[in-house]
Amino acid sequence: MSGPPPPVKKTLITCSNPSCERYGRPGDKAPLKCANCKSARYCDKDCQRQHWRQHKEFCKIWAATSANNGHTSVAQIKLKMAHLIWLLRGIPDYVTHMFKEYSYWQKRGKRGFIEFEFYHWEHILEAIRFIEGLPVYEEVPFVGMPGTPSYAPLGTKQLTLPLRRISSEAFPRFKELVEDCMHFKENQNRPNLQRALDVAMQCDDLFVISVSVGLESTYSTHIYDFIYRSTSWHSSNNGPVAAGPVK
């Protein structure tokens, strides 16, 4: 598996404390990792202490998830989730399909997003393997909106997005592994999601995509990004020039 683009990896290693000015800043690696869950990262002990009240509940779940899945950390699972978004944005016909689904609900006054929901992390691995097996017919330059997980800052290596098609023969399996997991959803309880939705409401040429994976008990983990109508984000669009940290 090729994995997600480098900017995503750099976002997931930043400080996990939302009150920290370095939270979600791509490339700003937080050196301290939670010893229990191996996923939350912090600038220092002060950041860790500030965030403990919010983190302690999830810490137990993340640690249990890792212990029951061959010590695969939630941070590693999130990288797979980001990789699925990267693969999906590289299927133009399916991006058009997602836009139609999103627009249907948006025109009816819904403030929501497209989510792919997987009940176990192995299910998302199977979906990734299947999409990676689809033939690549072209590779195109990709630019993400500043402030998003897939944004590559100026001066860094430009991203190249492989484009794929889903043949009629491959579609039944794609439907089983991917399409049947896709839904339009509304949610007012995830703080990071609300910031992303605020951005999406400013422009008709993008929407929020979310991937959700079930963890232990009734918990799940999520990751967000934007899907663009024209594959890449363009600053000339009548929309936002940047997003806040979306992690």
Indicate the residue type of 67: A
- The per-residue pLDDT for 153 is 74
- Residue 195 backbone zone (phi > 0: left; psi -120 to 50: alpha; other: beta): alpha
> Using CA of residue 88, residue 90, residue 174, residue 8, what is the dihedral sign?
negative
- Tens-digit pLDDT profile for residues 7-19: 565 566 778 888 8
- The per-residue pLDDT for 240 is 55
Indicate the residue type of 186: E
CA distances for 211 relative to 4, 45, 49, 138, 225, angstroms: 14, 30, 29, 25, 9
Residue 140: is its pLDDT beyond 90? yes
- Tens-digit pLDDT profile for residues 174-190: 999 999 999 999 988 87
- Tens-digit pLDDT profile for residues 200-223: 888 889 999 999 998 877 678 888
In angstroms, the CA 126 to CA 106 distance is 31
Residue carrying the six token digits 């509304």 = 186
- List, as one string, the DSSP characters of 25-38: -TT----EE-TTTS
In angstroms, the CA 232 to CA 221 distance is 26
In angstroms, the CA 20 to CA 24 distance is 9
* Lookup: tokens for 82: 């980001």
**72-96: b or e for each residue (b if 16 or more CB lie within 10 Å)?**
bbbbebbbbbbbbbbbbbbbeebbe
> Using CA of residue 51, residue 20, residue 187, residue 177, what is the dihedral sign?
negative
Residue 5: is its pLDDT beyond 80? no
Which pTM value belongs to this model? 0.81
